[in-house]
């Protein structure tokens, strides 16, 4: 055999004048650069912003479309249900088909469905568009965590995870602020008339999604699982049944007057959940790869971290919904003032997120415990403020409690996300990210359903002030539970 036949083939060099910069999406060791990280974090922000941006727009949607309480609940719940039900499936599809490809598909679909929401002619069309928007978000979001896990390592991964946690928390608060400003400003009034305010909270996503699509095509590396698993059809259907039978009646029950179907649905929930667990455990024992492998839950960091994400998100989701309703309907603040009341919380959260990585290196998971204590103090300050000066309450009066609570939240959420995924192997990054985001999203929806229903049930008889104070005390219980559970976390954070 000649030497030339065994010599490695070398690609001909291309001159600098003619070579175009090409991102190697199929590189065997993909690296997520700074622009790529910014792009996937933008994709992580959009779905969370849209979960909360609607809160301050609900009164104007009701006025413009004559929606009524039940349909307004569906505008919120339809998005949350589709999002939560399909998140794990979205992560599995990314593992199979490529996470960059699914991210591109998801962000494009999110932009299109946002346009459909913004142009909806009636309430039922808006509900359908919101369900589709939630499905698009479920395709996009799991790819963010999976890409970070697969395309970063060491200190860069820790930094990226901290930024992801900061982005998630800020997006939830910023969504309410942005919604209030957009509804009040109504920048499209010359085109869409009086409905421009609420329509703009959806239409603003369209140019952002377009920019994200261009950036993702250029900067996000392609990653996929080396051993992608087929779709777990029974697991997917049973997970969907479990979440729908729990969240749908809790969200719609109060507004619909608790008809028979809500009680039947709640009665079916434990059976659906038990069937889901049995099917997944059986598949895991057979060596198959179920949708949510019970073996993944044997990871100590993931199991204990999720046990904190659940009560934290229930309290947070309920608080954001209730405070928006209380400020607009109880104190008759405008949407801008209501939204901007969240600004101290957002600023404190951001500051705590920046300080978090350094504190974690020094104190480990005890940062989460300290954050829980600080958040509890903030909620207590809010309760006292609401109780003592309800009639004169405004942005300035809310500032101390909001800032203290935001500081505590910023010390918890980014660290929890790092802990949950710290021991998940890269080849299961999509599944791990999907499990975490499903837990978070389902808990946010559960918080809106439970704390929101509690507040709206108490308000007619007890008044807005007492209803808000009681709801804040229930949230305080969730904060205390999170703080106590944080003592069980592994001390060192990878």
Q: What is the pLDDT of residues 18-62, one digit of tens each?
A: 343 344 444 456 788 889 999 999 999 998 888 888 877 888 888
Query: What does the pLDDT read at residue 351?
Result: 87
Secondary structure class of 188 (helix, strand, coil): coil
Write down the pLDDT at residue 191: 52
Return the pLDDT at 340.
85
Q: What pLDDT is attached to residue 241?
A: 93
- Rounded-to-integer distance, Cα 361 and Cα 267, Å: 46
**294 DSSP 8-state letter:** G
- Which residue matches tokens 């600023």? 347
83 contacts: CB under 8 Å, gap ≥ 6: 47, 51, 134, 135, 137, 138, 441
Cα separation, 157 vs 164, whole angstroms = 10
Q: How far is CA 209 from CA 23, 137, 168, 179, in A?
A: 21, 11, 17, 17
What is the reported pTM? 0.80
Cα dihedral 180→182→185→186 (10° resolution): -130
Q: Is 488 helix (H, G, I), strand (E, B) or coil?
A: coil
46 vs 178, residue with greater confidence: 46
Q: Is residue 484 predicted with pLDDT exceeding 50?
A: yes
Distance CA 48, CA 240 (A): 20
The confidence band for 210, taking pLDDT boundaries of 50, 70 and 90, is very high
Q: Where are the alpha helices (DSSP H) in 66-153?
A: 68-97, 99-118, 123-151
Mean per-residue pLDDT, 368-389: 93
Mean of pLDDT values over 408-434: 80
Residues 437-452 have a mean pLDDT of 85
Q: What is the pLDDT of residue 13?
A: 45
| Residue 304 tokens, joined | 């204990």
Average pLDDT over residues 438-446: 85
Mean pLDDT of 453-469: 88
Query: Shortest CA distance to 115 belongs to which of 211, 217, 207?
Result: 207
What is residue 55's DSSP assignment?
G
Average pLDDT over residues 418-436: 76
For position 11, what pLDDT does the model report? 45
User: What SS3 state is found at 491?
Assistant: coil
Please tell me the predicted confidence (pLDDT) of residue 125. Answer: 93
Higher pLDDT, 301 or 372: 372
Q: What would the pLDDT profile of 116-166 be if each residue is shown by its tens digit?
A: 999 999 989 999 999 999 999 999 988 998 888 888 888 888 788 878 878
pLDDT at 196 over 80: no
């Amino acid at each position: 055999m000649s030497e030339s036949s065994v010599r490695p083939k070398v690609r001909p060099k291309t001159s600098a004048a003619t070579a175009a910069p090409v991102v190697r999406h199929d590189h065997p060791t993909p690296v997520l650069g700074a622009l790529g990280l910014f792009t996937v974090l933008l994709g992580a922000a959009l779905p969370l912003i849209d979960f909360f941006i609607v809160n301050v727009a609900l009164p104007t949607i009701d006025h413009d479309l004559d929606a009524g309480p039940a349909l307004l609940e569906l505008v919120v719940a339809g998005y949350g249900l589709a999002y939560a039900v399909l998140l794990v499936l979205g992560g599995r599809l990314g593992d199979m088909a490529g996470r960059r490809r699914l991210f591109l598909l998801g962000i494009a679909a999110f932009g299109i469905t946002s346009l459909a929401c913004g142009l909806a002619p009636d309430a039922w069309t808006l509900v359908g568009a919101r369900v589709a928007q939630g499905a698009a978000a479920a395709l996009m979001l799991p790819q963010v965590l999976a890409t970070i896990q697969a395309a970063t390592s060491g200190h860069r991964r820790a930094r990226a995870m901290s930024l992801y946690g900061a982005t998630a928390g800020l997006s939830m608060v910023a969504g309410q602020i942005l919604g209030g400003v957009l509804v009040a400003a109504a920048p499209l009034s010359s085109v869409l008339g009086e409905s421009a305010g609420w329509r703009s909270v959806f239409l603003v996503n369209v140019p952002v999604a377009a920019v994200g699509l261009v950036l993702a095509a250029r900067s996000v590396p392609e990653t996929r699982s080396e051993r992608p698993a087929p779709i777990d059809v029974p697991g997917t259907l049973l997970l969907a049944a479990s979440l729908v039978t729990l969240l749908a009646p809790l969200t719609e029950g109060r507004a619909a007057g608790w008809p028979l179907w809500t009680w039947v649905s709640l009665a079916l929930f434990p059976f659906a959940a038990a069937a889901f667990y049995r099917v997944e455990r059986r598949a895991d024992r057979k060596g198959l790869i179920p949708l949510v492998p019970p073996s993944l839950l044997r990871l100590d960091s993931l199991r204990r971290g999720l046990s904190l994400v659940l009560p934290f998100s229930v309290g947070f989701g309920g608080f954001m919904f209730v405070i928006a309703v209380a400020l607009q309907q109880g104190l008759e603040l405008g949407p801008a003032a209501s939204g901007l009341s969240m600004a101290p919380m957002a600023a404190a959260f951001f500051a705590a997120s920046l300080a978090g990585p350094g504190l974690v290196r020094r104190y480990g998971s005890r940062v989460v415990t300290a954050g829980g204590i600080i958040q509890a103090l903030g909620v207590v300050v809010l309760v006292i403020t609401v109780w003592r000066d309800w009639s004169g309450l405004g942005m300035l009066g809310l500032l101390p409690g909001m800032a203290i609570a935001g500081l505590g939240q910023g010390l918890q959420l980014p660290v929890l996300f790092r802990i949950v995924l710290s021991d998940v192997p890269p080849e299961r990054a999509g599944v791990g990210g999907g499990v975490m985001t499903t837990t978070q999203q389902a808990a946010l929806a559960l918080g809106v359903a439970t704390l929101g229903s509690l507040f709206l049930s108490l308000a007619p008889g007890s008044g807005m002030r007492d209803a808000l104070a009681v709801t804040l005390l229930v949230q305080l219980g969730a904060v205390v539970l999170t703080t106590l559970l944080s003592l069980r976390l592994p001390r060192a954070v990878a």
